[in-house]
Amino acid sequence: MITKFGKRFLTDYIAGNSDFNSKDIALGISSTAATVNDTRLGFEFYRLPVTLSSINIEEVSSVFRYYAIYKATIPQDVSGVVSEIGLYPGTRKSTNFFDSKFVTSFENNGTWFDSIGGNPQLKVNTTSPVFTAQIGETMVQFDVNTSSVKEYTNSIVTLDLSGYSVNDSLSIAYKKIDNNVSKIRVKLYSSDTQYYYADFTPASGSGDRIQSVSMSTVFGNTSVTAPDATSITKVGIEVTAGAGGPATVYFDGLRINDEDTFDPQYGLIARSVLTTPLQKPSGRPVDIEYKLELVF
């Protein structure tokens, strides 16, 4: 589906005012239905350049349909479940140092530590019983005892939050298998005692989840001594289990979304949700085509 931004951008391109020689395809894991108001994917995890563009014109019962087709190749080392696809311009004229970005993945349990240096378990994709990570082929598994709290932390490349606004958002993707998780808290540390935090309350039921909070919430919740927004060096994930029993949560990804930067020459042109998600394994490249219908 072509977005509102996409309609304006393509009109400007036809008028000769925009550059659309290079294009990118974004891959995501959200299955939320596409709308013309979309400004980003539900949860993007990889972006790749379009290597070939073509057109297709179909006639059925004297009705013509026009399509632009964009081809790209997912590299062999990228794996995950592609549930949504987006189209972006390949270049931008303005510079944005505080763009949407991936904060951390959960594919390696060896980089996550609890307070005594222990690592969480690593859950690998299986076919019987079926267990599928949405990003990559593994997920970090957090196990928490009844009425207890457990936190694991992971050091990251220094992240500067100072340029993000209260309108931007923080999103987390995870898999929930029971109803005993009462709270998930994400902490963004600038030191061992200074951090921002945001709480996520999981909905009942089980399955893959994507939840978001505004950066207003993140910036409004701090440790006693406020952190340094320009120097976030560690991420903490804290899971609280209720009185109903022990809880287990598997984590997929954490990202920041730039929600309010407007660039008339750069944005989400189109977004589509796949009827049948594509499960991309590691070890081999996969060619994909994005077929975009143009209505005149």
Confidence band (pLDDT; 50, 70, 90) for 94?
confident
Q: Which domain holds residue 24?
A: 4-94+263-294
**Beta carbons of 43 and 255 less than 8 angstroms apart:** yes
Distance separating alpha carbons of residues 46 and 259, to the nearest angstrom: 18
Whether the predicted pLDDT of 275 surpasses 80 = yes
- Residue 28: the pLDDT is 98
pLDDT, tens only, 175-207: 999 999 999 999 999 999 999 999 999 989 999
The CATH number of residue 218's host domain is 2.60.120.260
Mark whether 89 and 112 lie in a shared domain.
no
Residues 6 or more apart whose CB falls under 8 angstroms from that of 70 comprise 23, 25, 50, 52, 53, 87, 289, 290, 292
Mark whether 124 and 184 lie in a shared domain.
yes
Count the domains in the chain: 2
Mark whether 166 and 240 lie in a shared domain.
yes
Q: Is 201 exposed, middle or buried (0-12, 13-18, 19+ CB in 10 A)?
A: exposed
Mark whether 180 and 251 lie in a shared domain.
yes
Mark whether 37 and 149 lie in a shared domain.
no
Mark whether 253 and 114 lie in a shared domain.
yes
Mark whether 111 and 66 lie in a shared domain.
no
Among 210, 223, 99, 252, CA closest to 161: 99
Distance separating alpha carbons of residues 179 and 206, to the nearest angstrom: 7
Lowest mean pLDDT among 91-95, 108-112, 126-130: 91-95
Mark whether 152 and 280 lie in a shared domain.
no
Mark whether 238 and 155 lie in a shared domain.
yes
Mark whether 237 and 130 lie in a shared domain.
yes
205-211: average pLDDT: 95
Distance separating alpha carbons of residues 55 and 220, to the nearest angstrom: 49
**Beta carbons of 252 and 106 less than 8 angstroms apart:** yes
Confidence band (pLDDT; 50, 70, 90) for 245?
very high
Confidence band (pLDDT; 50, 70, 90) for 128?
confident
Mark whether 90 and 107 lie in a shared domain.
no
**Beta carbons of 284 and 104 less than 8 angstroms apart:** no
Mark whether 79 and 135 lie in a shared domain.
no
